[in-house]
């Protein structure tokens, strides 16, 4: 075991001893294991949506954005621009599914708040709205662009100006090889990030809404740049916030989704082959119960014993997409297994702060979002379960 890991383990043990009784109770429940019962996608989605509504209502900063998290230690956090941005398409999709105007009103509040904090040049800040370092950042702007594009698609020109400013800024700050290096987040290790294909996805959505070839070309240039860092076994280098030798499934999920969306928009077989390589590599990490280790090594072996629940459902969504493109049921079966595992971690009763929420890690004391329920975990959980319902309906299996 590395010195860093030993130091972190000791630190976590001391922190655990000092935690409130609720933390210890939930931790021990996770250690005992998951319930056998799976409530199914429909109930899980409804509960997670209601938790996101509470995260918007109880955000520490009360500004229309969505609280970054609920912490078992410190309570509700401040609003998080990046994830509020990509929560918007989820809220709009759900509102359309159930024909709920109140949910659309929530999306409008999120959009109006984001527009109010956009920099004049079009970029958006990293971190929460209370961050001490306020600078425009490529990755966060790309994630918010997803919300602005969906807002423009749904509500018309009210958000088109903000969408185009953000997309133009991303294009203008791109290097000639397709990488974005000029405006990195101050909250991650320095260096190029292959997972910024998730920024490219934002441009792809803006390109579709605005019929803009410039945005499309910029997005595909980034995806092709990122694919140069893919190994033969599907592995992506430069793919983590803080530990590229043991990346989170969360950031692997980002790069996977970005290249899948690039294939969706381009139908480039070389990009599809890259999707298949990472999809197949990730298949080797899952056990029969749907457990995927939260950090992975370049040979796809586990680096930790806990699950990054966000990454799990991101990857499940990507496997659903890959099944749609290839008709290979190994992707469908893996996605169903992972979704079921994560659903079993969700509580659908109990205190409203945690009911319907998704933990950063399972067990809750794992190394990602420790003792926290994250708004983006809930977002990707909803997306993946909605996708499951769509795919199963398409093949005639409810």
pLDDT digits (tens, 9 = 90+) for 2-16: 666 666 777 767 777
Please, are residues 304 and 294 in contact by the beta-carbon 8 Å criterion?
yes
d(CA 167, CA 206): 7
Residue linked to tokens 């903000």: 162
Start-to-end C-alpha separation, the chain: 46
Q: Are residues 246 and 373 in the same domain?
A: yes
How many Cβ atoms sit within 10 Å of the Cβ of residue 109?
17
Q: Are residues 304 and 264 in the same domain?
A: yes
Helices (H), the chain: 3-17, 21-32, 41-57, 81-98, 101-116, 138-155, 160-172, 197-210, 213-227, 249-266, 269-283, 309-326, 329-345, 375-394
d(CA 231, CA 300): 12
Number of domains in the chain: 2
Q: Are residues 8 and 112 in the same domain?
A: no
Q: Are residues 352 and 299 in the same domain?
A: yes
Query: Does 113 reside within a domain?
Result: yes
- DSSP conformation class of 33: -
Considering 207, 228, 249, which residue would you say is the last residue of a domain?
228
Per-residue pLDDT at 396: 85
d(CA 78, CA 128): 6
Q: Are residues 96 and 125 in the same domain?
A: yes
pLDDT digits (tens, 9 = 90+) for 307-324: 999 999 999 999 999 999
Q: Are residues 214 and 258 in the same domain?
A: no
Per-residue pLDDT at 17: 75
Per-residue pLDDT at 5: 66
Query: Does 93 reside within a domain?
Result: yes
Considering 228, 259, 274, which residue would you say is the last residue of a domain?
228
Per-residue pLDDT at 398: 67
Q: Are residues 207 and 325 in the same domain?
A: no
CATH number at residue 346: 1.50.10.10
Query: Does 31 reside within a domain?
Result: yes
Query: Does 207 reside within a domain?
Result: yes
Residues whose CB is less than 8 angstroms from the CB of residue 6 and which lie 6 or more positions away in sequence, other chains included: none
Query: Does 391 reside within a domain?
Result: yes
Query: Does 328 reside within a domain?
Result: yes
Please, are residues 383 and 317 in contact by the beta-carbon 8 Å criterion?
yes
Q: Are residues 278 and 179 in the same domain?
A: no
Query: Does 56 reside within a domain?
Result: no
Token readout for 31 is 């250690």
Q: Are residues 219 and 269 in the same domain?
A: no
Given a cut of 70, the residues of the chain with pLDDT beneath it are 1-7, 12, 398
Residue 387: which domain range? 1-39+230-398
Please, are residues 141 and 123 in contact by the beta-carbon 8 Å criterion?
yes
Q: Are residues 205 and 327 in the same domain?
A: no
Query: Does 319 reside within a domain?
Result: yes
Q: Tell me the three state secondary structure of residue 233.
A: coil
Considering 179, 207, 228, which residue would you say is the last residue of a domain?
228
Q: Are residues 89 and 222 in the same domain?
A: yes
- DSSP conformation class of 304: -
Statement: the pTM of the whole predicted model exceeds 0.85: yes
Q: Are residues 167 and 32 in the same domain?
A: no
d(CA 356, CA 48): 4
CATH number at residue 130: 1.50.10.20
């Amino acid at each position: 075991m590395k010195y860093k890991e030993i130091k972190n383990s000791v630190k976590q043990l001391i922190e655990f001893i000092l935690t409130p009784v609720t933390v210890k109770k939930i931790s021990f429940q996770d250690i005992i294991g998951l319930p056998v019962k799976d409530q199914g996608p429909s109930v899980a989605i409804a509960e997670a949506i209601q938790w996101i509504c509470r995260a918007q209502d109880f955000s520490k900063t009360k500004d229309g954005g969505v609280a970054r998290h609920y912490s078992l230690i410190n309570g509700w956090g401040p609003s998080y621009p990046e994830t509020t941005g990509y929560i918007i398409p989820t809220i709009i999709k759900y509102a359309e599914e159930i024909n709920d105007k109140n949910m659309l009103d929530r999306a409008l509040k999120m959009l109006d708040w984001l527009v109010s904090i956009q920099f004049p040049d079009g970029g958006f800040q990293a971190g929460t709205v209370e961050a001490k370092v306020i600078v425009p950042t490529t990755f966060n702007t790309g994630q918010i662009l997803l919300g602005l594009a969906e807002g423009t698609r749904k509500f018309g020109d009210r958000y088109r100006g903000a969408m185009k400013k953000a997309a133009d800024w991303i294009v203008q700050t791109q290097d000639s090889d397709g990488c974005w290096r000029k405006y990195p987040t101050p909250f991650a290790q320095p260096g190029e990030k292959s997972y910024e294909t998730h920024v490219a996805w934002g441009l792809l959505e803006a390109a579709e809404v605005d019929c803009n070839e410039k945005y499309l070309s910029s997005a595909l240039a980034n995806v092709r740049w990122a694919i140069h860092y893919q190994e033969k076994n599907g592995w992506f280098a430069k793919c983590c916030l803080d530990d590229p030798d043991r990346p989170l499934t969360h950031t692997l999920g980002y790069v996977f989704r970005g290249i899948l969306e690039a294939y969706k928009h381009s139908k480039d077989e070389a990009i599809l082959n890259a999707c298949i390589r990472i999809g197949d590599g990730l298949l080797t990490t899952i056990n029969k119960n749907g457990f995927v280790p939260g950090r992975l090594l370049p040979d796809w072996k586990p680096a930790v014993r806990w699950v990054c629940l966000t990454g799990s459902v991101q990857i499940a969504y990507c496997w659903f997409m890959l099944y749609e493109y290839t008709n290979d049921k190994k992707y469908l079966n893996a996605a169903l297994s992972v979704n079921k595992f994560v659903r079993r971690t969700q509580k659908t009763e109990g205190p409203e702060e945690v009911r319907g929420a998704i933990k950063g890690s399972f067990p809750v004391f794992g190394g990602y979002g420790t003792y926290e329920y994250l708004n983006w975990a809930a977002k990707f959980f909803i997306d993946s379960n909605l996708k499951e319902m769509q795919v199963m309906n398409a093949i005639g299996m409810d």
